[in-house]
Amino acid sequence: MHHNPHPSALIDRFGRKVDYVRLSITDRCDFRCVYCMSEDVQFLPRDEVLTLEECSRIVKAFVSLGVKKVRITGGEPLVRKDALWLFNKISRLPGLNELVITTNGSQLEHQALVLKQAGVRRINISLDSLDAARFRKITRVGDLDKVLRGIAAAKQAGFEKIKLNTLLMHGINDDEALPLVAFAIEQGIDISFIEEMPLGSVHYHRNSSYVSNEDTLKLLRARYDLINSVESTGGPARYWRIPNTKTKIGFISPHSHNFCESCNRVRISSKGELFPCLGHENKVDLIPVLRDFPHNDRPLIEAIIEGIKIKPKGHDFDIKRAEPAVIRFMSYTGG
């Protein structure tokens, strides 16, 4: 059955077509980044997490509904046992254009090549510092060298695109915008700066750690002759090209720019919750329909269509609120 039963069923109330899904396949991670999870994070019991077979069914249902791009996230997706089985399975779905992953890079040294062979086309690697001691402080446990070897392995494996994701925090790593861009240029890869989102209650003051992309852009433009680029990779980033290099700089700015009017994405947590918007609590639980109807995807498809109907017009992240609007760590919904 290769024809598309509902060619564009995933149109929300505001006429936006959802063609991009981010699926978290685990809430577990081998790092403990300060802005993402608490130090003593409690991971979900196994039976509350989607099985890889269930992940595969969800992606298949979305692709049958017209989704073209799937990003696998975590936690750290590559710590999930047998994740490669899933990549192999979904990369072959007719109609899917892009299977991409976001990773902390710790496992890439050994997995880059097999990931590429399993059909992953692009890879985003989180990197917030090029200083080993500082990197360890931000990730609490990470080894910078291992990540740098992972980046080298990914380049060697020949991914279509490799992109660094960087989150700057005042007084922690905000002096590294230029060195990280210089590193990206030297490596011939892209880099995106992501404004911190007020998700989960973390132990430091977001208000004082927040760095706006506007400031980062100003700083970079003083050093580089940046050219505004109209291109988009189907996500929320705005890109600038650095002339005479292979590097694009992206800015993902949920605070200063509400990019909601063109939002084409939904997220699924590792617990099988479909979140139509990262900035809202409303969600649809997919595990009950997956487990009550193991051999019939109709109820799953219906639940997904319902979920798209409750996609809100936009989010409102206010960094100054005493408590975040959404008490849910980034590790939970997969970034």
What domains are there in the chain, each with its CATH number?
20-333 (3.20.20.70)
Q: What is the mean pLDDT of the chain?
A: 88
* Residue 324 reports pLDDT greater than 50: no
Token representation of residue 314: 């936009």
The pLDDT, as a whole number, for residue 34 is: 82
Give the pLDDT confidence score for residue 327 in this predicted structure.
44
Pick from 137, 162, 138, 161: nearest CA to 148 = 162
Q: How far is residue 73's CA from residue 278's CA, in Å, rounded to a whole number?
A: 14
Question: Is it the case that residue 156 has pLDDT exceeding 90?
Answer: yes
pLDDT at 261: 82
The predicted structure's pLDDT at residue 326: 45
Contacts of 303 (CB under 8 A, 6+ apart): 274, 284, 286, 289
Token representation of residue 294: 């193991």
**What pLDDT, on a 0 to 100 scale, did the predictor assign at position 233?**
61
Residue 58's pLDDT is what? 98
Average pLDDT over residues 305-324: 72
Q: Give yes or no for residue 254 having a pLDDT over 90.
A: no
pLDDT of residue 178: 97
Give the per-residue pLDDT at 246. 96
Here the tokens at position 238 are 């705005």
- List, edge to edge, every strand of the sheet that includes 238-241: 227-229, 238-241, 248-252, 190-194, 161-166, 122-126, 98-103, 69-73, 20-24, 265-268, 273-275, 284-285
| 0.85 exceeded by pTM | yes
In 3D space, the residue among 16, 19, 18, 37 whose CA is nearest the CA of residue 334 turns out to be: 37
pLDDT tens per residue, range 258-306: 678 888 999 999 999 999 987 788 899 999 999 999 999 999 999 999 9
Residue 22, beta-bridge partner list: 71, 267
d(CA 14, CA 6): 18
Peptide bond into 75 cis (omega under 30): yes
- pLDDT tier, 253 (very low <50, low <70, confident <90, very high otherwise): confident
Instruction: Report the half-sphere exposure of 164 (CA within 13 A, side-chain side).
Output: 31
* Res. 318: pLDDT tops 80: no
Residue 103: other Cβ atoms inside 10 A: 26
For 37, list phi and psi in degrees, rounded to 5: -145, 160
pLDDT one-digit tens code per residue, 188-237: 999 999 987 655 544 445 556 788 898 999 999 999 999 998 766 666 78
Answer whether residue 316 shows pLDDT above 70: no
Beta strands 248-252 and 190-194: pairing type? parallel
**Predicted local confidence at residue 234, as pLDDT:** 61
Q: What is the per-residue pLDDT across 73-117, written as a single tens digit (0 to 9) for each? A: 999 999 999 999 999 999 999 999 999 999 999 999 999 999 999
CA distance 207 to 227: 31
- Which burial class, exposed, middle or buried, applies to 29 when counting CB atoms under 10 A from its CB (0-12, 13-18, 19+)? buried
Between 162 and 253, residue with greater pLDDT: 162
Stronger pLDDT, 38 or 329, i.e. the higher one: 38
Confirm if 244 and 254 have CB atoms less than 8 A apart. no
DSSP H or E stretch at residue 318: none
CA distance 218 to 115: 37
Q: State how far the Cα of 282 lies from the Cα of 290, in Å rounded to an integer.
A: 19
